[in-house]
Amino acid sequence: MKSSFSDIIKSETPVLIDFHADWCGPCKMLGPILKEVKEELGDKVKIVKIDVDRNQPLATKYQVRGVPTMILFKNGEQLWRQSGVLSKEEIKQKITSA
């Protein structure tokens, strides 16, 4: 069964949403960084990738104007958002302080 977006972001575990696009160069750079973040933090974070071209209503709802855009949610609340590529350490710091 597929969870709805609102169910996913209501998690007590921080959820990092990566709004990306297949044609976006910086998005391709961010992918491996997020994979390392997940490997290092394990169950302390959920990382969900959302293709803005396939999910335009969701991208519009969260006012994603550029990709990549990362939004961190916990208990349904937006805690942080950032557009562009960040280092693994910067992303981990944002997640662990959530």
84 pLDDT band, cuts 50/70/90, is: very high
Predicted confidence (pLDDT) at residue 2 exceeds the cutoff of 90: no
Predicted confidence (pLDDT) at residue 1 exceeds the cutoff of 60: no
CB 90 within 8 A of CB 28: no
Q: pTM of the entire structure?
A: 0.95
Tell me: the pLDDT tens digits for 24-61? 999 999 999 999 999 999 999 999 999 999 999 999 99
DSSP string, 38-65: HHHHGGG-EEEEEETTT-HHHHHHTT--
> Could you tell me the domains of the chain?
5-96 (3.40.30.10)
Which of 81, 71, 66, 84 is closest to 29 using CA atoms? 84
The rounded Cα 17 to chain-centroid distance in angstroms is 2
CB 92 within 8 A of CB 40: yes
What residues are labeled active site?
24, 27
pLDDT at 54: 97
Predicted confidence (pLDDT) at residue 98 exceeds the cutoff of 90: no
